[in-house]
């Protein structure tokens, strides 16, 4: 997500790769016979593309940072009465995502309800095997979204942001093993830098306080770290699995998200009743909900869809900038506003390595011979 996770970014990138190619073709101005009229067209097109890229950068940074910070704030905010259930927030986000995607499908069909119903029936009901394939990533995404709440209940936003970049490593490894992708030398080096950076960020530091406070802090950080690591693994596998399905079929991105949302809602609701059933029966599903909670749910549901729209204008360098700015903003806000983060030299060094790894992984060289790739 936080994509939702929001949840994961991998599926947004693969969903919009074709749109990116098409938009690139549209931005190339056709050759004109009159040389006097060609430069204004090229300048106008270039200026429009540049503005779209900066808007995309702003949206990516805003979505990534705001979701993490609001989720962290909502999980640490002291309120009268019970705190909202993370499992309930996940279910609510899936419902909102289904409603949003259904409206987008209606737009694609020129607001024709009959055409939309026919499309959904053909793609979901009449293709049960294709629909059931999405039960796997839906279940994993549901687990991942719940893990992110656990992580941000035990880790500050800055540490979480840096550590969660390990999803680049897990996604790369699953891409190599499941899709047969080849990684270049720069990408393997970036993965090593990534692991080193996260290790430094998570390195224990001497802090004040008695032994009991240190034990509680270490225990909480360990729970948060395990939640992030599990979320990274689930994000990598689900993203690559979803990409594989997308490559095998030609279906609307929004229809696919409706299918995912339906499975995620069912599995999330079952999980909520299993783990929080007693609390739901006593105080209701929406216990502890506040304005902040509703913002978290909305960001988790709609955030990933917004990224899916703007990502076609964002190249790898721009996405690297977005990740870097998000980490920096999370660090500053955690320190100055939330006051739940005390940076150390090791943290800054680790964060710097992670940012460098993000840029290096997205670095694109000129195509070389096939022997230059490394495959495992």
* Span 52-111, pLDDT tens digits: 777 877 888 888 899 999 999 999 888 777 889 999 999 999 999 999 999 999 999 999
Mean predicted confidence (pLDDT) in 342-355: 91
User: How far separated are the first and last CA of the chain, in Å rounded?
Assistant: 28
pLDDT band at 31 (very low <50, low <70, confident <90, very high): very low
> Which tens digits make up the pLDDT trace of 111-143?
999 999 999 999 889 988 888 988 999 999 999
pLDDT band at 227 (very low <50, low <70, confident <90, very high): very high
Residue 321 reports pLDDT greater than 90: no
Backbone angles phi, psi at 112, to 5 degrees: -95, 105
Contact 86, 285 (CB under 8 A): no
Mean predicted confidence (pLDDT) in 231-239: 91
Contact 60, 82 (CB under 8 A): no
Query: What is the predicted pLDDT for the residue at 209?
Result: 53
Residue 319 reports pLDDT greater than 60: yes
Residue 358 reports pLDDT greater than 60: yes
Classify the C-alpha dihedral 282-286-292-297 as positive or negative. positive
Angle between helices 253-283 and 135-154 (to 10 degrees): 50
Query: What is the predicted pLDDT for the residue at 206?
Result: 60
Gyration radius (Cα) of the chain, Å: 22
Residue 19 reports pLDDT greater than 80: no
Residue 323 reports pLDDT greater than 80: yes
Buried-state track 119-138, b at ≥16 Cβ within 10 A, e below 16: bbeebbeeeeebbebbbebb
Residue 229 reports pLDDT greater than 50: yes
Backbone angles phi, psi at 183, to 5 degrees: -105, 135
* Tokens describing residue 190: 């970036």
Mean predicted confidence (pLDDT) in 270-285: 94
Query: What is the predicted pLDDT for the residue at 372?
Result: 37
SS3 label, residue 220? helix
In whole angstroms, what is the distance from residue 133 CA to residue 150 CA? 28
pLDDT band at 370 (very low <50, low <70, confident <90, very high): very low
In whole angstroms, what is the distance from residue 254 CA to residue 125 CA? 16
> Which tens digits make up the pLDDT trace of 256-271?
889 999 999 999 999 9
Residue 195: CA count within 13 A, CB half-sphere: 8
**Nearest in space to 205 (alpha carbons), one of 213, 214, 197:** 214
Q: In sequence order, what are the residues at sequence separation of 6 or more whose Cβ sits closer than 8 angstroms to the Cβ of residue 71? A: 2, 148, 149, 152, 296, 300
Query: What is the predicted pLDDT for the residue at 55?
Result: 80
Query: What is the predicted pLDDT for the residue at 223?
Result: 93
Mean predicted confidence (pLDDT) in 303-316: 67
Query: What is the predicted pLDDT for the residue at 4?
Result: 46
Task: Kindly state the helix (H) or strand (E) to which residue 135 belongs, with its residue range.
Answer: helix 135-154
> Which tens digits make up the pLDDT trace of 36-56?
444 454 455 667 667 777 787
Residue 338 reports pLDDT greater than 60: yes
DSSP per-residue letters across 140-180: HHHHHHHHHHHHHHHS-HHHHHHHGGGHHHHHHHHHHHHH-
pLDDT band at 8 (very low <50, low <70, confident <90, very high): very low
E strand map for the chain: none
Q: For tokens 């955030």, what's the residue?
A: 303
> Which tens digits make up the pLDDT trace of 178-207?
888 888 888 999 999 999 999 999 887 665
Query: What is the predicted pLDDT for the residue at 78?
Result: 82
Q: In sequence order, what are the residues at sequence separation of 6 or more whose Cβ sits closer than 8 angstroms to the Cβ of residue 247? A: 14
In whole angstroms, what is the distance from residue 39 CA to residue 211 CA? 70
Query: What is the predicted pLDDT for the residue at 32?
Result: 44
SS3 label, residue 326? helix
Query: What is the predicted pLDDT for the residue at 239?
Result: 86
- Whole-model pTM? 0.78
Q: Rounded mean pLDDT of the chain? A: 81
Query: What is the predicted pLDDT for the residue at 3?
Result: 42
């Amino acid at each position: 997500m936080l994509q939702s996770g929001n949840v994961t970014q991998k599926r947004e990138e693969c969903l919009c790769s074709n749109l990116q190619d098409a938009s690139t073709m549209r931005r190339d101005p056709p050759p004109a016979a009159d040389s006097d009229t060609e430069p204004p067209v090229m300048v106008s097109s270039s200026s429009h593309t540049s503005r779209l890229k900066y808007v995309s950068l702003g949206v990516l940074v805003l979505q990534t940072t705001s979701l993490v910070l609001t989720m962290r704030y909502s999980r640490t905010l002291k309120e009268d009465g019970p705190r909202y259930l993370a499992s309930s927030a996940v279910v609510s986000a899936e419902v909102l995502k289904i409603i949003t995607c259904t409206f987008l499908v209606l737009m694609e069909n020129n607001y024709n309800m009959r055409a939309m119903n026919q499309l959904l029936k053909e793609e979901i009901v009449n293709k049960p095997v294709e629909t059931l394939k999405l039960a796997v990533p839906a279940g994993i995404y549901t687990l991942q979204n719940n893990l992110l709440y656990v992580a941000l209940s035990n880790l500050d936003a800055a540490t979480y942001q840096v550590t969660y970049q390990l999803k680049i490593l897990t996604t790369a490894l699953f891409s190599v093993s499941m899709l047969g992708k080849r990684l270049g030398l720069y990408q393997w080096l970036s993965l090593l830098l990534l692991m080193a950076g996260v290790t430094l960020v998570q390195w224990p530091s001497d802090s004040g306080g008695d032994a009991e406070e240190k034990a509680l802090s270490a225990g909480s950080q360990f729970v948060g770290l395990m939640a992030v690591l599990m979320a990274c693994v689930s994000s990598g596998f689900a993203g690559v699995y979803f990409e594989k399905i997308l490559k095998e079929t030609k279906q609307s991105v929004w229809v696919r998200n409706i299918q995912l949302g339906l499975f995620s809602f069912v599995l999330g609701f079952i999980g909520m009743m299993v783990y929080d059933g007693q609390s739901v029966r006593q105080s209701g599903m929406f216990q502890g909900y506040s304005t902040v909670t509703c913002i978290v749910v909305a960001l988790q549901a709609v955030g990933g869809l917004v990224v899916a729209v703007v990502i076609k204008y964002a190249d790898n360098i721009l996405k690297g900038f977005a990740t870097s700015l998000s980490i920096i903003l999370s660090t500053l806000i955690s320190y100055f506003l939330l006051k739940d983060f005390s940076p150390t030299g090791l943290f800054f060094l680790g964060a710097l390595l992670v940012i460098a790894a993000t840029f290096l992984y997205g670095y694109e060289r000129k195509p070389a011979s096939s022997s230059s790739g490394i495959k495992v």
